[in-house]
Amino acid sequence: MIRRQRLAAGLGALLAALAAGLAFPAAAVADETTALAPKVDLVIDVSGSMRAKDMDGQSRMSAAKQAFNEVLDATPEEVQLGIRTLGATYPGDDRKTGCKDTAQLYPVGPLNRAEAKAAVATLTPTGWTPIGPALLKAADDLEGGEGSKRIVLISDGEDTCAPLDPCEVAREIAAKGIGLTIDTLGLVPNAKMRLQLSCIAEATGGTYTSVEHTDELTDRVNQLVDRAADPVVTPVAVEGASECAKAPALKSGLYTDREEFGQERWYRVDVKPGQELRAAVSVAADRAVSPDYGVLLRAVTVHGREIVRGEAAGTGRTDVISTGLRYPKAESDDEDAPAETVCLQVTHSFAGAAGVKATPGLPLELTVDVVDGPSDAGDVASFGLGRGWWLLGALIVAGFLGGLVWGWLSRWRVAVWRTN
CATH code for position 267: 2.60.120.380
Q: Is residue 391 part of a domain?
A: yes
203 and 55, same domain (yes or no)? yes
Give the C-alpha separation, 134 to 99, whole Å.
Answer: 9
Last residue of a domain, one of 199, 228, 257: 228
Last residue of a domain, one of 164, 199, 228: 228
Contact in structure between 242 and 223 (CB atoms under 8 Å): no
Q: Is residue 9 part of a domain?
A: no
61 and 79, same domain (yes or no)? yes
* 57 Rama class: left (phi>0) / alpha (psi -120 to 50) / beta: left
Edge to edge, what strands does the sheet with 275-284 contain? 236-237, 253-259, 362-372, 275-284, 320-328
Q: Please tell me the predicted confidence (pLDDT) of residue 293.
A: 87
Q: Is residue 27 part of a domain?
A: no
Q: What is the pTM of this model?
A: 0.56
* Domain, as residue range, for 152: 33-228
Q: Is residue 15 part of a domain?
A: no
Q: Which are the contacts of 207, defined by CB distance < 8 A and separation ≥ 6?
A: 183, 184, 201, 224, 284
Instruction: Tell me the pLDDT tens digit for each residue of 298-347.
Output: 999 999 999 999 998 877 666 778 899 999 988 877 777 899 999 999 99
Q: Please tell me the predicted confidence (pLDDT) of residue 186.
A: 92
400 and 261, same domain (yes or no)? no
Last residue of a domain, one of 202, 228, 254: 228
Question: 3-state class of 123 per DSSP?
Answer: coil
Instruction: Count Cβ neighbours within 10 Å for each residue of 25-60 and write b for 16 or more, e otherwise.
Output: eeeeeeeeeeeebbbbbbbbbbbebbeeeebeeeeb
> Which residues, given as ranges, of the chain have pLDDT below 50?
1-3, 6-7, 11, 14-15, 17-18, 26-30, 376-389
195 and 242, same domain (yes or no)? no
66 and 210, same domain (yes or no)? yes
User: Got the DSSP string for 297-330?
Assistant: EEEE-TTS-EEEEEEEEE-SS-SEEEEEEEEEPP
350 and 400, same domain (yes or no)? no
Q: Please tell me the predicted confidence (pLDDT) of residue 123.
A: 95
Q: Is residue 24 part of a domain?
A: no
245 and 357, same domain (yes or no)? yes
CATH code for position 55: 3.40.50.410
Instruction: Tell me the pLDDT tens digit for each residue of 26-83.
Output: 444 445 566 788 999 999 999 999 999 999 999 999 999 999 999 999 999 999 999 9
289 and 369, same domain (yes or no)? yes
Q: Please tell me the predicted confidence (pLDDT) of residue 87.
A: 93
186 and 271, same domain (yes or no)? no
Q: Please tell me the predicted confidence (pLDDT) of residue 259.
A: 92
Tell how strand 306-314 and strand 264-271 pair up.
unpaired
44 and 122, same domain (yes or no)? yes
Q: Please tell me the predicted confidence (pLDDT) of residue 26.
A: 46
106 and 138, same domain (yes or no)? yes
Task: Work out how many domains the chain is built from and give that number.
Answer: 3
127 and 260, same domain (yes or no)? no
